[in-house]
Structure 1
Amino acid sequence: MTDLLIRDALVVDGTGAPGFPADVVVDGGRIREVTAAGRGPSARRILAADRRVLAPGFIDMHAHSDLQILADPAHTAKVSQGVTCELLGQDGLSFAPVDGPTRELIGRQVAGWNGEPAGLELGWDSVGGYLDRLDRGIACHAAYLVPQGTVRMLIVGTDDRPATEPERARMVALVRQGLAEGAVGMSSGLTYPPGMFADDDELVELCRVVAESGGFYAPHHRSYGVGALAAYAEMIEVCRRAGCALHLTHATMNFEPNRGRAGELLAMIDDALDGGADITLDSYPYLPGSTTLAALLPSWAAAGGPDALLARLGDAAARARIADALDRVGSDGCHGCVVDWSTIQISGVARPELSAAVGRSVAELAAEQGRSPAEVCFDLLVRDGLATTILQHVGDEDNVRAIMRHRVHTGGSDAILVGQRPHPRGWGTFPRYLGRYVRELAVLGLEDCVHHLTGRAAARLRLVDRGLVRVGQHADLVLFDPATVQDTATFEDPRRQAVGIDMCW
C-alpha cells in the first residue's frame, strides 16, 4: 500500500501548463502516480484536496536564512509560506569558507542579517562543512552560493585594493573547492565591503571557474539607484566574458531616478537573451527594500573592516566627510543617491536600550533630538555595533509589476528574519504573489506564477527531480486555496503567518 493519496486536487504542475484535476500518489517521498481525479489507489493516508491547488513547493531564490535555518528548526517563516527550498550564501557574505578571524568579521558585518543565535556552534570552515551541518536536519531544502566577498576577505582581507596574482589564484582555488563541495554558483555583494573592492577582471576570473562547474553567478551589483542600468549591463558583460550563466539577484529598479524605467532594464535583458546569454532574475513583491544602516555609508568608510569603520565614525573629520557623501554628493552605499532620511526606517537593533528607535524614520528621530539625520545615523551605528537594520522605502509599483511579468523571472524574498520589526517579506512573499498579484490584480496568471516560483527556479538550480508535480519527482509539494491565499504580515506586525496555505511537504 502506498504512503499517501492526495485526492481530487487541482494540479498546477510548475511548467506553466493549465491546471488539471487529478489524484496524486506519494510513496517513499516521491510522486509515484498522477492519475484522473477519483482514480487513485488505496493508501495508508488519504488527503481530500477538494480541488485546492497542489503545486510544487516554492523555491526562495534569495534567502538570508544562513544561520536562522539552523537556529530555528521549525523555520516557520518560510515553511508556512509553502517554501520547500531556499538559496543561501547571498550578496557575497556568508559563513563558508572561513577561518577563525574571518568568521568573527563576517558575524559582525552581517549581524543585522543573521543575528547572533544563542547556543549555535559555527563549527565548520568549508562549504562542504556547512552543507554537512545543514544535512544534519533542517525544515526545508537548501542550496548554497560561494560568497565572493567572504572569499576575498579570507584571502585579501578588508582593504580597498586590487588582488595580487597569487591572491587571485588562491581565490580561484577556494571558489573551485566550494563548487566541488556542492555549491551551485557564486554570489557577490558589490555594494558591500570587501566584495565591492573587486574589479571586473577579478570577477571574470572567478566566474570562469563557476562556468566550468555549470553553475551561475548571482551578483548584488554595484548600484540599484543612479547607476542601476549601467550596473546591470556590467554584470551581463562580466558573464559574457566569462561564459557564465547569470542570475540577477533582487532585480529591482528603485529610487526616484528609476521610476517607470523597468522597461529599459527588461529590454537590455531581452537583447542579451536573444544573443544567447543565459540569464534569470528574482524579485520580491513589495516596494521597500531592507538592509543594514551601515550599508548606506560610502565604500571608502568601510575599508579595513568593522573596527576601521567604527574608528572613522569616532573621528570628527571623517564623520563630516561621510555626512557630506550622504547628504550632498550621493553615497555609493545608497546607490549614488543622496539619502532621503524620511525613507530610512529602523527595523531592528542589537542593543535593547536602543529599541525605542525601531519603527521610526531617521528623519523623525533627528527632528525629535534637534540633530542632523546623519549624526543620528552615526550614533546609532556606534552604539549598536553596526548591527542596526533598516527598511528603505524607495520602490516603484510599476517597476515591480513589469519585472515580475518577465519570462526569466523567479521569486526571491530577500528576507531578513531577525530584528524587532523585519520586512514582512520574510513571512509573506509567496502568498503575496498568489493573493495580491494573481487573484486581486491579475498581473500574473495562476499557472504562470507557480511556474515562476517553482519549475523555472528549479531549472536554474539544476534540480532535475524537484520543482514539478511529475511522476518520479521528489514530493516537495504545497497545497493552497487560490480563493483565500494571502499574506497577512505587515510592516507593523511582520511575523504574522499567511492564510490559505494548507499543507507543505
Structure 2
Amino acid sequence: MQDLVIRDADVVDGSGGPSYRADVVVDDGRIVAIVQEAAAAGCQRPNAMRELDAEGLVLSPGFIDMHAHSDLALLRDPDHSAKAAQGVTLEVLGQDGLSYAPVDDRTLAGVRRAVAGWNGHGDDVDFDWRSVGEYLDRLDRGVDGRGIAVNAAYLVPQGTVRALAVGWEDRAATPRELERMRRLVAEGMEQGAVGMSSGLTYPPGMYAGDAELTELCRVVASYGGYFCPHHRSYGAGALDAYADMVEVARNSGCPLHLAHATLNFGVNEGCAPRLLSLLDGASAAGVDLTLDTYPYTSGCTTLAALLPSWAADGGPDALLARLTDDTTAARIRHELEAVGSDGCHGVPVDWDAVEISGVTAAHLADHVGRTVRESADLRGEAPWTTARRLLVEDRLAPTILQHVGHEENVRAIMRHRAHTGGSDGILHGAKPHPRAYGTFPHYLGHYVREAGALSLEECVAHLTSRPAARLRLPDRGLVREGHRADLVLFDPRTVAAGSTYAAPRTLPTGIPHVLIDGRFVIEDGRRTDILAGRAIRRSPV
C-alpha cells in the first residue's frame, strides 16, 4: 500500500496549464499516481496508509528559491521555518560571488569577514570543509547528521575563486592565475555545483574584467551549468550592465540567469520595457537566459557595498584602514554624496532611503530600524559620520535596506516569460528584509489574488517548473507521475506573507502543508522535526 493519498486537491501542476481536481498518490518519496476527478468517476479511488483531505486547497510543486543566502543558516538552524513555512523546498546558495567554498584557511577568513552582514561571523559553525564537494557533503550531513530543513543547490562563487587564486587586489589576473581559476571552477562543477555566480559590485569579484568572466563561463558551459551574475550596476548604468552580461553569455556560450533583475533608483523609473526588450532580443539571437526577482520595491545589501570599489582594494582590512584615515574617508564621502560612487551605482547616496537593518555589535543595536539620517539626527551629526562609525565599529558588518524601487518595474519584470522567483533573503540581523520570510506567499497572496498581476497557474510555473528547468532537474518542478514529491498545499483565498518591514520575521498564513520527498516538513501549519533536505548536485551533461 502507498504511503499517502492527497484527496480532492485543486492541482496547479507547475506547467502553466489550467488547474484540475485530482487525488495524488505518494509513495517512497515520489508521485506514483494522479487520478483526475473525471477519470475517477465510477472507479475505486486509490488507497494509502494515510489520507489527507485537500478540499479547498491548491496542490502545487514545491517552490524553488533561485537566490538564497542560507549558506550557514541551513547548518545552524534545523527549523529554518523562514523558508520551509513559505513552501520553499529547494534553495540555490553560493550567490553574488561570495560564499564559503572553495577556500583555503586564508581565503575563508576573508570571506567570513566580507559576508558577515549576510550570514553573521559564523562563530557557531564548524567550517570543516574547504572544497565545493566537501561543503555539499556537509549539507547532506546537515544538523547532527540528520540532514537539513530544505534541499539546497550551490553555485561556485567567482569572487571567492578570485580571492583564492588572485587575492583581494584590484588588478588583472595573470595567465597562471586565470588558469588556476579555470581549474577551481571546473573542480566545483565536477563536485556538483550547478553553475557560477558573480558579485560584480562586491570585492574581489568586481575586479574581474569581462574577458576573465568569459573564460570562466566557458568552463561552466562545458559542464552544463549557468552563469548567475549580480551585475555591475543597478542604478545609472543598470541597462548597460545587463547588456554587458548578455554579451558575456553570448561570447562564452553559457546560459545566463540574471540575479535579482530589478531596476531601481529614480533614473530607472519606468525603464522595465527597455530591459525586457533587451532580453527578448538576446533570446531571439540564441542566448539562453532567465532571471529572478523578489516581489518588493526595496533592496537589501551591506552598508559597505555603497562604498567606491577602489576603497576595497586589498580586502576588508585595507578598507577599514581607509575608513579610519580622515583624508581618505573624506574622499569616500565626496564620492558617495556628491558624485555617486560605483558602489552607489552612479547615484549620489540618499541617506533618507538607507535604513540600518542589522548589526553584529550589541552597542550599535539602537541604530537598527532607523535610516542613516534619522540615526545621525538623533546624535546631532552628519549622516556620513554615523555611517562611517557603523562601518568601523561593526567591522563592515552592518546590513541595510534601500527604499529605491518602483512598483511598475517590479510588476512588468515578474510577468516576463523568463522570470523565476528568488527571495535574496538575508536571514541575519535584527530587522531583515521581509522578503526573507515572505517572498513566495507574497507572490501568491498579493500579486495573484489581490493585484491580478499574474494568474495563479502562471505564477506557480514561475516558482516551480521554470527554475527546475534552469537547474536541469528533470524530476522536480512539476506535479507528474514519477517526479519527486516536493509539494505544497495552500489556500488560495488566504495565503499571504505575514512578514512586514515592521515585523519581518512573521511567518506566512494559508500554507498548511509542505512535503519534501514525500515527508511533511510543515503539517497543519506547524513545523515538524523532519529534516528531509539534502544537497542537490548538478546533473551530468
| TM-score, with length taken from structure 1 | 0.99
Q: Aligned partners of 2:96, 2:471: CA distance in 1, in Å?
A: 17
Alpha-carbon contact 1:342-1:362 (below 8 Å) kept: yes
- Name the counterpart of 1:107: 112
Q: Aligned partners of 1:45, 1:16: CA distance in 2, in Å?
A: 29
One-letter amino acid of the counterpart of residue 317, structure 2: D
- What is the deviation of 1:117? 4.1
- Name the counterpart of 2:29: 29
Matched, 1:176 2:186: yes
Matched, 1:66 2:71: yes
Pairing of 1:97-496 with structure 2 (within 5 A)? 97-136=102-141, 137-496=147-506
- What is the deviation of 1:370? 2.4
One-letter amino acid of the counterpart of residue 103, structure 1: L
Alpha-carbon contact 2:358-2:429 (below 8 Å) kept: yes
- What is the deviation of 1:118? 4.6
1:341 aligns to what SS in structure 2? coil
- What is the deviation of 1:28? 0.3
Total equivalences in the alignment: 505
- What is the deviation of 1:116? 2.9
- What is the deviation of 1:120? 1.5
Identity %: 62
Q: Aligned partners of 1:426, 1:188: CA distance in 2, in Å?
A: 21
Q: Aligned partners of 1:73, 1:91: CA distance in 2, in Å?
A: 24
Partner deviation per Cα, 1:289-309 (whole Å, 9 max, x = no partner) = 000001000000011111101
Distance 1:104 1:380, change over 3 A: same
Moved more, 42-51 or 168-177: 42-51
Q: Aligned partners of 1:322, 1:104: CA distance in 2, in Å?
A: 25
Q: Aligned partners of 2:45, 2:325: CA distance in 1, in Å?
A: 72
One-letter amino acid of the counterpart of residue 494, structure 2: T
One-letter amino acid of the counterpart of residue 210, structure 2: D
Q: Aligned partners of 1:365, 1:135: CA distance in 2, in Å?
A: 43
Q: Aligned partners of 1:278, 1:99: CA distance in 2, in Å?
A: 34
Q: Aligned partners of 1:115, 1:55: CA distance in 2, in Å?
A: 34
Q: Aligned partners of 1:294, 1:149: CA distance in 2, in Å?
A: 16
Q: Aligned partners of 2:464, 2:321: CA distance in 1, in Å?
A: 46
- What is the deviation of 1:148? 0.1
Q: Aligned partners of 2:236, 2:382: CA distance in 1, in Å?
A: 24
Q: Aligned partners of 1:183, 1:118: CA distance in 2, in Å?
A: 25
- What is the deviation of 1:36? 2.2
- Name the counterpart of 2:533: none
Alpha-carbon contact 2:83-2:436 (below 8 Å) kept: yes
Q: Aligned partners of 1:201, 1:119: CA distance in 2, in Å?
A: 39
Q: Aligned partners of 1:368, 1:501: CA distance in 2, in Å?
A: 42
Alpha-carbon contact 1:223-1:231 (below 8 Å) kept: yes
Q: Aligned partners of 2:36, 2:168: CA distance in 1, in Å?
A: 60
2:512 aligns to what SS in structure 1? strand
One-letter amino acid of the counterpart of residue 63, structure 1: A
One-letter amino acid of the counterpart of residue 12, structure 1: V
One-letter amino acid of the counterpart of residue 372, structure 1: A
Alpha-carbon contact 1:71-1:117 (below 8 Å) kept: no
- Name the counterpart of 1:76: 81
Alpha-carbon contact 1:5-1:40 (below 8 Å) kept: no
Q: Aligned partners of 1:218, 1:377: CA distance in 2, in Å?
A: 30
RMSD: 0.8
2:493 aligns to what SS in structure 1? coil
Alpha-carbon contact 1:24-1:40 (below 8 Å) kept: no
Structure 1 consecutive aligned stretches of length 4 or more whose deviation exceeds 6 Å = none
Alpha-carbon contact 1:21-1:51 (below 8 Å) kept: no
One-letter amino acid of the counterpart of residue 118, structure 2: W
Q: Aligned partners of 2:368, 2:392: CA distance in 1, in Å?
A: 16
Partner deviation per Cα, 1:347-380 (whole Å, 9 max, x = no partner) = 0000011000000000112222222211211111
- Name the counterpart of 1:47: 52
| TM-score, with length taken from structure 2 | 0.93
1:342 aligns to what SS in structure 2? coil
- Name the counterpart of 1:12: 12
Alpha-carbon contact 2:112-2:122 (below 8 Å) kept: no
Q: Aligned partners of 1:248, 1:402: CA distance in 2, in Å?
A: 16
2:508 to 485, 498, 502: 498
